[in-house]
Amino acid sequence: YVPMLLQSLCMCFHDESWPVRDEACLACGTFVKAYPRACLNDLPMLFERWTDHLCDQIWSVREDAAVALGDALRAYVYDRSLVFDPLMSVIESNIPLAKDQPAMTREEYIARQNDAALHTDSQLYSCGSLAPKLKKRSHGGCSDCKVNRDRMPWEATDGCIYMLRELSSFYAYVRNNDMDDDKLKNAMAYVNDELIVTLMKKLLDACRVKHFPQSDDLRATLFKQLPTIARNIGKTTFKRKYLNLFLKLLMDNVRSNDVASASCKFAASQCCEQLANFVGVSIFRGRCEEIGAHWELSSSGHRSGGVVLGGVPY
């Protein structure tokens, strides 16, 4: 039954409804993890669909495509050429794409969002509605299947954030697994700190962009995923090699008078709290002071005292 069920799932990848495609990503990943040999012949097609959905307009589709690719990494851990090597090529190509996003002011962005002519007469919609995609009426809006928009370069970078989260989970899996198997031991040679640090630096560089309004959404995704990445990497290694990489960007986004969106500020604040509790509040505070920032955790577990950058209180 495996080939027949897999073909049925693969057909769902092409469905116009994004919730169907979303679930297809997850289901195929679970299927590959459970039956890696039976799925091997279809792996190139699955890989193409997963990496395509890693750039989807819907954030949950991007996230679940990353989860499915993480399952595939585990399923084919014995042969890096099947998933790992081609996936690294995709990640390397997609991480910097946010820099190619056309410049746009927030006012232009709002005007574009409200221009119905730019979002109609397309085959499908990706506005986030869970409404059934049936052509019963054409009034516009979320329930109208004519509404759509093109993919944007920054969304490919956003997908890479979820993928790096899954890659860090794969790193933890390889590091903590029983290494009696020589082939599994070999995985440690290519899934290591050097690889993760290099990719994180490239991702951080891409997430510094601010020439378009959705850059706040990009940074919010990073801040939401960073605590999970930290736990996957491990406290000692994260403190030594990763923490200082992100502190300046975090502090820049928790300032109360920054132009960052409320959701981005909140995500940065929550990330600070979680990282401080993970590495130790005193250690986190000390690292902040090293870059000229002041950060405190109140007794209720929330940030207090504000942030001081360059001697200027915010």
Summarize pLDDT for 265-285 with one digit per residue, the tens: 899 999 999 999 999 999 999
Q: What is the structure's pLDDT at 180?
A: 62
Tokens of 190: 């290519």
Nearest to 294 by CA among 280, 309, 283: 309
CA distance 175 to 233: 10
Q: Is 192 helix (H, G, I), strand (E, B) or coil?
A: coil
**Percent of the chain residues past pLDDT 70, beyond the cut:** 77
pLDDT tens-digit profile of 135-189? 444 444 443 344 467 889 999 999 999 999 999 999 998 888 765 666 667 777 7
pLDDT tens-digit profile of 15-54? 878 888 888 889 999 989 999 999 999 999 999 999 999 9
Q: What is the structure's pLDDT at 261?
A: 80
β-pairing verdict for 303-304 and 296-297 = antiparallel
**Percent of the chain residues past pLDDT 90, beyond the cut:** 54
Look at the alpha carbons of 94, 264, 255, 230 in this order and tell me if their dihedral is positive or negative.
Answer: negative
> What is the band of 293 on the pLDDT scale with cuts at 50, 70, 90?
confident
Range from 70-74, 103-107, 193-197 carrying the lowest mean pLDDT: 103-107
Residue type at 77?
Answer: V
Residue-averaged pLDDT of the chain: 82
Q: What is the structure's pLDDT at 132?
A: 43
DSSP alpha helix (H) spans, 55-214: 59-75, 84-94, 106-113, 153-176, 182-190, 193-207
CA distance 78 to 31: 18
pLDDT tens-digit profile of 110-120? 666 666 666 55
The residue count for the chain = 314
